[in-house]
Structure 1
Amino acid sequence: MRAFHLSRQWLVLLGLALSVAISNGFGRFSYGLILPAMRESLHWSYTQAGWLNTANAIGYVAGAVATMALIRRVTPERLFVIGTLGTAVSLALTGVDESLTAQSLCRMGAGVFGALSFICGGTLAASMFTDSPRRNALAIALYFGGGGGLGLALCGAVLPPMLGVMGPQSWDTAWYLVGFAALAFVPVTIWAARNVAAPVSDGFPGSKPPFKRMLGQMISYGFFGLGYIVYPTFLSAWMVSHHISTALIAATWVALGVSVMASPFLWRGLLARYDSGLPMAVILVAVAVGSALPVLMPNTVGLLLSALVFGLSFFMPPSAITSFVRRNLPQPDWGAAISACTVVFAVSQILGPIGAGWIGDHTGQIGDGLLVASVMLLAGAASAALQRPLRPEESDR
């Protein structure tokens, strides 16, 4: 019976992880694959292209703030279901209207609902296997990495070949495919959410998470948001500008997705062992290296190595934040603390795409944006290295 219970729990976790395929793999990162076709068909500059992921990030901020306000009054399960379904619908609508205004609204909608889904799903995943630190750390890492990697791999395998055959004017068809795939995953995610023993709130405000003593971790998460988003937003555009073949573009993104799916097994020991900011620091160094490699090694080996290093690390900062909160704070404060960290991340994420696009327009090389992003990620690693474990007896002053 225990083995059956454990097997069912892992199936529930898989269902939760599919929501990350929707909110991140489809909702945030598929745009990077469709962007070159949209730029060519709609005659956008890099700044305009970057703006749409900035619009997505603005929506993410709004969703994170809403989650932080609602998490003690509405169950994580209900917010999770609303967010997952809303993200899928927003993606399906993205192909309807080519105007920048309509595109912005759809990208914002995907951000708002994606934040609800992502944060509340993380809270639900953190509530699993609480009697085993190693299983709990693996569950958190699998939630963030497993579903996101699956979404990336599916998009990488399907979208570049489809756009290569049908031409850039088929960008709207690409969005319909992404949206319908997301809608197909929704019933499984709803089933999973209804089978998790979610954190119970007593309806009272509870204690305030010690944000001042979490500054090292929160600042590092902000630098992560500022730097990492440049790579998935502009990697395909950089590859197209360097006349990389469609086959290599697809292979790079599939390698990225497969690496993301493998990443929880690489980092689970580090996440389970430390209460400090060390896991975040090490992970961000790896993300920084992966971000810079396409520019430093602009060949097939460099691109695939970049996908491997970046993929093995860039979905793990949310796991590091969630694990840090899980190990340092009482359970009633998890949702509020994760939401607050996500707000910091989301605000900083607003600047990354449009900033890198501006750099690309002014230097003529979008690769320069990737290098600046790498520097930001290293700054985040330095901040995380200063984060010490929290002591429950200390007050937040």
Structure 2
Amino acid sequence: MTPTRQWLVLVGLALGVTVTNGFARFAYSLLLPAMQSEMGWSYAQAGWLNTANALGYIGGAALTMAFIRHISPSSLFAFGLITTTISLLATGMNDALWWQSLWRIFAGVCGAMSFATAGALTAGLFQNDPRRNALAIAILFGVGGGLGIVLAGSALPLMLDAYGPAAWPIGWVIIGMISLIFLPVGLWSATQLRTAPLLLSLARPLPVRRMLPEFAGYAGFGLGYIVYLTFLSAWMTEQDAGAPFIAMIWVLLGLSICFSPFVWRRVLARHASGLPLSLILVGIAVGSALPVLAPGSLTSIVSAVVFGLSVFMAPSAVTNFTRKNLPAESWGHAISLFTVVFAVAQTLGPIGAGLLGDFFGNIGFSLLAAAGLLLIGAVIASFQKPL
């Protein structure tokens, strides 16, 4: 496959991440204040829906590990992308908590299939060029997820401000329709990689014990990052931020995520240890804590930039670690296992943060707790040595 074709394939894979991450997981934060207002939810109930999504993510990651030896990764990616798109459209059809929970779980199951396989498939691009490979992996998660946040952030707060909280179902339908537009490109990329042997060979057992610091650091990422992305809009609404400012912050956050691959590309290309993940977790922690420690418009802007430049590079760091330290036939298994660890950890983050916010009557305490967990993860990840 020519380099040009490989970049085009990457575009489709990145648009898949836009749907399964940028939309299915993080657009909820933008719609949360309106949904919470309309349905009278507590912070714990609001956090539950992202926990439900994370529970589905565990199931999807586990299914990916089970299916990866029997079904091609490109087929799992395509299936996950199609079904996640359906779940986005369905979420806006009913306001009952059981309905919302059902489709948030379903989006988690299907999104995990696409997410894990997209990372493994991208690791197979530019195999003879480590720098391009590291950049491609970073672009997949950075630009893929960041684009979804830019699109959702630029539209949803302003739409809700114009039409009121009752318009939240329209928000889900809008992002579902955009996902339908992206779907053909993602499916085309999947067909281009259908014959790749990347995940189909019998793999050696993973050296899990030697990888424990990286796994623990990634668990810290799962526990901490989701709190900011779940409750950012709710926190800003508590601080009486207007819809245009909230939209600006989310667009700035998404643009920073899109730019993040170019900030971290050399670190990712150079190191085969846990150092990249450790540094990234420090950045996420700082971004999470800033708006609480020093409330204000300027610190909200700095927080969005710092958080955005770091958050989606954590999956890039573990994918890059996998590629540098394990044989190609083990990549799919390893990335699926990382996804399971991450998914289990992030189930606790939203509902735990919601309970803490309800207890103190202020979600800011949850953001500080998340920052602390991220810093603990950073310390542990720093002990990871190359295999």
TM score, norm. by length of structure 2: 0.98
Q: Which residue identity is paired with 2:197?
A: V
Q: Which residue identity is paired with 1:149?
A: G
Q: Which moved more, 1:301-310 or 1:9-18?
A: 9-18
1:73 paired residue number:
70
Aligned counterpart for 1:338 among listed residues 332, 335, 339: 335
Q: Which residue identity is paired with 1:320?
A: A
Q: For each residue in 1:4-51, what CA deviation from the matched residue of structure 2 results, as whole angstroms up to 9, or x when unmatched?
A: x32222121111100111011000000000000000011100000000
* 1:119 and 2:110 aligned: no
Contact 2:199 2:330 in 1 (8 A): no
CA shift, 1:279, in A, is 0.4
2:185 paired residue number:
188
Aligned counterpart for 1:271 among listed residues 259, 268, 272: 268
SS of 2:105's equivalent in the other structure is helix
Q: For each residue in 1:63-104, what CA deviation from the matched residue of structure 2 results, as whole angstroms up to 9, or x when unmatched?
A: 000001111111000000000111110010001111111100
Contact 1:124 1:198 in 2 (8 A): no
Q: How does 1:112-191 map to 2 (within 5 A)?
A: 112-191=109-188
Contact 2:16 2:186 in 1 (8 A): yes
SS of 1:200's equivalent in the other structure is coil
CA shift, 1:348, in A, is 0.5
Contact 1:128 1:196 in 2 (8 A): no
SS of 1:194's equivalent in the other structure is helix
2:227 paired residue number:
230
Q: How does 1:215-226 map to 2 (within 5 A)?
A: 215-226=212-223
CA shift, 1:262, in A, is 0.2
Aligned residue pairs total: 387
Taking only aligned residues, the RMSD between alpha carbons, in angstroms, comes to 1.2
Q: Which residue identity is paired with 1:366?
A: I
Contact 1:64 1:342 in 2 (8 A): yes
Contact 2:201 2:329 in 1 (8 A): no
Contact 1:47 1:357 in 2 (8 A): yes
* 1:349 and 2:327 aligned: no
CA shift, 1:203, in A, is 5.9
Q: C-alpha separation between the residues in 1 aligned to 2:287 and 2:26? A: 16
Q: How does 1:167-316 map to 2 (within 5 A)?
A: 167-196=164-193, 199-200=196-197, 205-316=202-313
Contact 1:76 1:198 in 2 (8 A): no
- Structure 1, unaligned runs of 5 or more: 391-397
Q: Which moved more, 1:6-15 or 1:262-271?
A: 6-15
Q: How does 1:95-106 map to 2 (within 5 A)?
A: 95-106=92-103
CA shift, 1:202, in A, is 8.6
- Give the 3 Å change call, closer, same or farther, for CA 50–275 of structure 1 in structure 2: same
1:30 paired residue number:
27
Contact 1:94 1:107 in 2 (8 A): yes
CA shift, 1:209, in A, is 1.1
- Structure 2, unaligned runs of 5 or more: none
Contact 1:199 1:331 in 2 (8 A): no
Q: For each residue in 1:214-270, what CA deviation from the matched residue of structure 2 results, as whole angstroms up to 9, or x when unmatched?
A: 000001000100000000100000111111011110000000000000000000100
TM score, norm. by length of structure 1: 0.96
Q: C-alpha separation between the residues in 1 aligned to 2:77 and 2:218? A: 22
